[in-house]
Structure 1
């Protein structure tokens, strides 16, 4: 394949006396003309490869059909109304609606499809006043992490004049009297270097109907500019609390102040020794989900008048399953546990006594739990590999579970099956993996397999429905999801076994999954594709550079590939707790340098067919990662396999992406696999 010419510069950095070349540093500047010309040429090459597939129209139409069904968000009851999001078929963005009865008519509150003609303005967050008379909502443009907040009266449709800017991962909490709210934001980033734009977060009080310039500063930490503050008023409005985090570190701090007396914030939990999630309070008695002395989490109570650890009370002790989410509803604890990568829901009384388990329809994943302490109903979503998301309501008075919004996808699951297996990784660790495929699969070593993973940041990979996977299954493919270390499936120890100097465990787990699939005759290296996004893009890129002969195709979406410079772009510095710092620590440099995909591309090596996907306005994992990696692979590859780069315009890291762009991207992913594995995706007609 004839690739666009790529310049090699003589840039050299010194890390702890070791010289490291960076010949494609120039690709880091997205505004430079030579970078833009190179990017356009790469996109043109990728388009010529993908668009030449003769069944392209069929693939896109099939995905369009699979994605053309109504989808609903989990309802929230505020005052007399229920609010929920609704995506009707092929709309680009979901619409916010409200109703007085969930089986009755609903009216549109907010339609983000009206914000832009191409669907690239997304509704990101909605913050309701408790009686539903007011809401604040945030939007993002072109997939950016930057968001703007506006305020609306749902009843009248009146929008307030003010717009609140410079928000990223916003948190907002209303005063009961509706006079205003507390929220977090960053200073105006204009003129700041990209890696300093997301520092020095502050908490402000905003009075309704006033300009942002009049907002009152409530809290800041100029001595710790990388801390993130999420404000939350307690239900009794007495305390303003701050959930305090540093980057992607799951450990947290907790501060509060008494709103009746004012004064300074009290740092109740400031050792950053474990995660703490505030659940609610009874006066000075505060309830938390925490991992303190409990790697799989537990529920505790802290009396803030006696905050010393010896006075802490354990309400729900650590279990064998991992406690991954908790909420107080109907004055009870609703606890979501993860056991071998699928969920269960349990109810515990206020004093920590077990009440009952809510029976779920099948092994799968609980999505978004909604309810308040004063309400007697609970809503949650549920999904699995072969079941599109459905919404359920649990009635505490009758202990009954009812389906509110059923699966309207039209997908017929009967011809397929999912099973969970456990395989052994390089160091003897037992790792779970889900396999989904047509029933009666013949284990002849010839099946096309798509192996997916993530492995980082304590993020669980759970069973979920995907039109991409359905299309792959229909064409005879096998879908495998490996629950490798770095996630939180088995608690904090599982996460820590896949971070910092133990990151290689993640790659070893994934490589072992691939080897198991081959040894068990599901497939062979020429028919095995690996796929991951973001940190999962790092995963598949590292596994490909370490074992290029093991795979027949690689799909790396918005990947992190330059592990020596990741912390220099936008929010990359906040990943240091997970990855390490190559400049501050010689040992961490050695660890990162050993697996950094960009720095482990070897000359005259045969690499598998590879499709790298990025987006021009991704301000989380900047496109330079994918561009530099593509340049290195294209230069080094000794084989004939294509190394392609797809750069999405007017898009970001993936959140808020309009449905039309999702269809285009998923079509390209499938076409790359079909073309590489010589699969005909269209069922053959029989006479």
Structure 2
């Protein structure tokens, strides 16, 4: 009887919400307009861009009050959270890697908010805790962003992020005593840490104005050298551009401290320059190894005076090059391994050999080569999937890699570079049977006839009858590839009978730079067309139906969801745009947004302005349209894609949409764009998203029964 009443209550609540529109908080409108090339564009909610003002904070509280009140009425929300917590509670370990003569790894016992950094004398020794981010804040909102060990193994420089911000603070820990030194660096962002001698190189910005820390533009990044035991104000300026504020810099030092490498990139371009300096020569200058910003140039390693690098110059699917540093100042560059049909994603140096990681139809292949470029053999991977990481030393026999797929929990393998054999080094133990799930890769035609791949995962025995709840995910931008990987969050969806689909749409890096270019700037509509075609394929092939299809994407993927919902609101039942770029006319005015002009173009260009205006999610919401149920997610400390994008988007949607479907926003406090988000927050947010989806599909998930 209890179960019957429980289900009846949920049904009544669902019916009530479907017939009556929610009463949304009133959002003040101002008479604000901009004129672009003779076109006047209204921006009545611009005041929401001031995310630190008391009025905006009150608005956030009112929106969250409504959203969480709605979510609280979903009877199976707690059951979803309980089951997700159970699934998440298993030990996870990274592949070990060597720094400063010691081995390190990350470990999480299951439900720890942040993974713990551990140190070992050798890979099979008992790990000793070096840095536990969970001890840095009671709620898990302080996360380790990056770190580097001094080459003598004595010190750990580490950067922490607070509340998910991209801003980090750098500290130094004595690995012998376990105590932090007095060193404390501020206003560091998008930076590595590169040790040499008695200090390290890092990149930072000038301090922003008070109250604008999370929204003001980040310009004139500089490289500094910090000497241990000194105050930051005495750090030595190593490099900055005297007049171009849109340059970004990163530093790297070889393990023998012989070579200093400087990376330079520029907003609005797709590549980077690469400079090198001999640290053993007091007055040596920077030598340009790769110039300009038209091509990507990635450092692999430096060994025995040879620099190995990956580039897409004259090779849109990338090739491996070598530079003989012994010939400097002459730059002697030569092709070592030419471009292939597959995309070269990464290369590593281990055991005196080169390991090249390729992408073949969105599935990883790992191949071994001699350092002269001659092919040796492939690494036999355990299944169709993804190599997440690879670590090894040029002169050590064993290397380590992690492998994952939709139905293959992330596993660490040890690889012997002499015998060519792999063995499991760490396999997680969790409540999951891979044989219960099927992974398919299909290819479908987009609007213009382009063949697009998509992965579809579901529980064995599922009937393709159009009645299954389906979740379609996509990204489509910035040359980023969406590859097969295991996700506990997705597992909850699958075990409740859901279909999970990942569309490898244009704009990403699935087939190299040409695939990327096909979804950039004036080709951006291809991205949306590809995603819409993926949805139509799932419906046509009866994996699901329009009434059972949800779509989700984050960041650039949030833009994707906002755009396709405007263009085809009839195709989806639920939409979840996460931390999305929604205002395509003003994105470049905040924090690091100016660097995205590379992919999007800019409203300051007349041709690009008109194109952006056609699909900008904020500017294409119209009255009288039957929108699906929409739950926007963002965070108050997101200084990558500032929350104003989501704030203005939902305010406009709540103003213009008068139908019965809920259009809500869930604003996570003390969180950012996603990096370093505590486990507890991820579980809460995922359970809320699934509860919202199920409620608006009219489904009671099996986990709640």
Band the TM-score falls in, shorter-chain normalisation: over 0.9
Change (3 A) 1:529 1:568: same
> What secondary structure sits across from 2:112 in the alignment?
coil
> What secondary structure sits across from 1:573 in the alignment?
helix
2:520 is equivalent to residue 499 of structure 1: yes
State the Cα deviation string for residues 360-403 of structure 1 (Å, max 9, x = none).
11011111221232332211211111122111111213322121
Q: Residue 74 of structure 1 corresponds to which residue in structure 2?
A: 95
2:676 is equivalent to residue 656 of structure 1: yes
Q: Residue 50 of structure 1 corresponds to which residue in structure 2?
A: 71
Q: Residue 221 of structure 1 corresponds to which residue in structure 2?
A: 241
Change (3 A) 1:252 1:94: same
Q: Residue 666 of structure 1 corresponds to which residue in structure 2?
A: 686
Q: Residue 638 of structure 2 corresponds to which residue in structure 1?
A: 618
Change (3 A) 1:536 1:385: same
Q: Residue 675 of structure 1 corresponds to which residue in structure 2?
A: 695
> What secondary structure sits across from 1:288 in the alignment?
strand
Show the 5 A alignment for 1:434-473.
434-473=455-494
Q: State the alpha-carbon separation in 1 of the partners of residues 477 and 378 from structure 2.
A: 30
> What secondary structure sits across from 1:53 in the alignment?
coil
Change (3 A) 1:632 1:31: same
State the Cα deviation string for residues 281-308 of structure 1 (Å, max 9, x = none).
3566432110011100000123454788
Show the 5 A alignment for 1:422-437.
422-437=443-458
Offset of 1:670 from its aligned partner? 0.7
Q: State the alpha-carbon separation in 1 of the partners of residues 123 and 366 from structure 2.
A: 23
State the Cα deviation string for residues 568-616 of structure 1 (Å, max 9, x = none).
1111111111111102x10010111010000000111110000000101
> What secondary structure sits across from 1:644 in the alignment?
strand
2:378 is equivalent to residue 357 of structure 1: yes
Offset of 1:263 from its aligned partner? 4.1
Match of 1:518 among 539, 563, 581: 539
Match of 2:80 among 59, 62, 66: 59
Offset of 1:193 from its aligned partner? 5.7
Q: Residue 477 of structure 1 corresponds to which residue in structure 2?
A: 498
Q: State the alpha-carbon separation in 2 of the partners of residues 124 and 465 from structure 1.
A: 22
2:267 is equivalent to residue 239 of structure 1: no
Q: State the alpha-carbon separation in 1 of the partners of residues 618 and 58 from structure 2.
A: 22
2:32 is equivalent to residue 11 of structure 1: yes
Match of 2:574 among 536, 553, 560: 553
Change (3 A) 1:143 1:229: same
Q: Residue 410 of structure 1 corresponds to which residue in structure 2?
A: 431
- Give unmatched runs, 5+ long, in structure 1: none
2:320 is equivalent to residue 302 of structure 1: no
Q: State the alpha-carbon separation in 2 of the partners of residues 673 and 684 from structure 1.
A: 14
State the Cα deviation string for residues 461-508 of structure 1 (Å, max 9, x = none).
011111221111111110000000111010000011111110110000
Offset of 1:232 from its aligned partner? 1.2
> What secondary structure sits across from 1:312 in the alignment?
strand
- Give unmatched runs, 5+ long, in structure 2: 1-21
Change (3 A) 1:619 1:606: same
Kindly indicate whether the alpha-carbon contact (under 8 Å) linking 1:559 and 1:625 is maintained by their aligned counterparts in 2: yes
> What secondary structure sits across from 1:162 in the alignment?
strand
Offset of 1:8 from its aligned partner? 2.2
State the Cα deviation string for residues 125-181 of structure 1 (Å, max 9, x = none).
121223433221110000000011111122321321111111111112112xx4212
Q: Residue 538 of structure 1 corresponds to which residue in structure 2?
A: 559
Q: Residue 8 of structure 2 corresponds to which residue in structure 1?
A: none
Offset of 1:90 from its aligned partner? 0.9
State the Cα deviation string for residues 197-224 of structure 1 (Å, max 9, x = none).
5211111222222221221111111222
Offset of 1:352 from its aligned partner? 0.6
Kindly indicate whether the alpha-carbon contact (under 8 Å) linking 1:133 and 1:155 is maintained by their aligned counterparts in 2: yes
Offset of 1:33 from its aligned partner? 2.9
Offset of 1:409 from its aligned partner? 2.4
Q: Residue 203 of structure 2 corresponds to which residue in structure 1?
A: 184
Offset of 1:667 from its aligned partner? 0.7
Q: Single out whichever of 129-138 and 642-651 deviates more from structure 2.
A: 129-138
CA RMSD after TM alignment:
1.8
Change (3 A) 1:599 1:161: same
Offset of 1:192 from its aligned partner? 9.1
2:348 is equivalent to residue 323 of structure 1: no
Q: Residue 616 of structure 2 corresponds to which residue in structure 1?
A: 596
Match of 2:395 among 374, 385, 403: 374
Equivalent pairs, count: 681
Q: State the alpha-carbon separation in 1 of the partners of residues 513 and 649 from structure 2.
A: 31
Kindly indicate whether the alpha-carbon contact (under 8 Å) linking 1:325 and 1:337 is maintained by their aligned counterparts in 2: yes
Q: Residue 410 of structure 2 corresponds to which residue in structure 1?
A: 389
Q: State the alpha-carbon separation in 1 of the partners of residues 268 and 536 from structure 2.
A: 31
Offset of 1:330 from its aligned partner? 2.1
Q: Residue 150 of structure 1 corresponds to which residue in structure 2?
A: 171
2:306 is equivalent to residue 270 of structure 1: no
Q: State the alpha-carbon separation in 1 of the partners of residues 386 and 592 from structure 2.
A: 29
Q: Residue 224 of structure 2 corresponds to which residue in structure 1?
A: 204
Change (3 A) 1:37 1:659: same
Q: Single out whichever of 21-30 and 367-376 deviates more from structure 2.
A: 367-376
Q: State the alpha-carbon separation in 1 of the partners of residues 270 and 94 from structure 2.
A: 26
> What secondary structure sits across from 1:160 in the alignment?
strand
Offset of 1:31 from its aligned partner? 2.5
* TM-score using structure 2 length: 0.94
Offset of 1:247 from its aligned partner? 4.2
2:274 is equivalent to residue 254 of structure 1: yes
State the Cα deviation string for residues 241-274 of structure 1 (Å, max 9, x = none).
1011224844110112222142432333222221
Q: Single out whichever of 537-546 and 386-395 deviates more from structure 2.
A: 386-395
> What secondary structure sits across from 2:233 in the alignment?
helix
Kindly indicate whether the alpha-carbon contact (under 8 Å) linking 2:550 and 2:573 is maintained by their aligned counterparts in 1: yes
> What secondary structure sits across from 2:702 in the alignment?
coil
Q: State the alpha-carbon separation in 2 of the partners of residues 358 and 635 from structure 1.
A: 56
Kindly indicate whether the alpha-carbon contact (under 8 Å) linking 2:52 and 2:211 is maintained by their aligned counterparts in 1: no
State the Cα deviation string for residues 532-576 of structure 1 (Å, max 9, x = none).
001000001100001101100000111110000111111111111
Q: State the alpha-carbon separation in 2 of the partners of residues 385 and 307 from structure 1.
A: 49
Q: Residue 121 of structure 1 corresponds to which residue in structure 2?
A: 142
Q: State the alpha-carbon separation in 2 of the partners of residues 246 and 658 from structure 1.
A: 32
Kindly indicate whether the alpha-carbon contact (under 8 Å) linking 1:58 and 1:682 is maintained by their aligned counterparts in 2: no
Q: State the alpha-carbon separation in 1 of the partners of residues 372 and 158 from structure 2.
A: 36
Q: State the alpha-carbon separation in 2 of the partners of residues 303 and 273 from structure 1.
A: 23
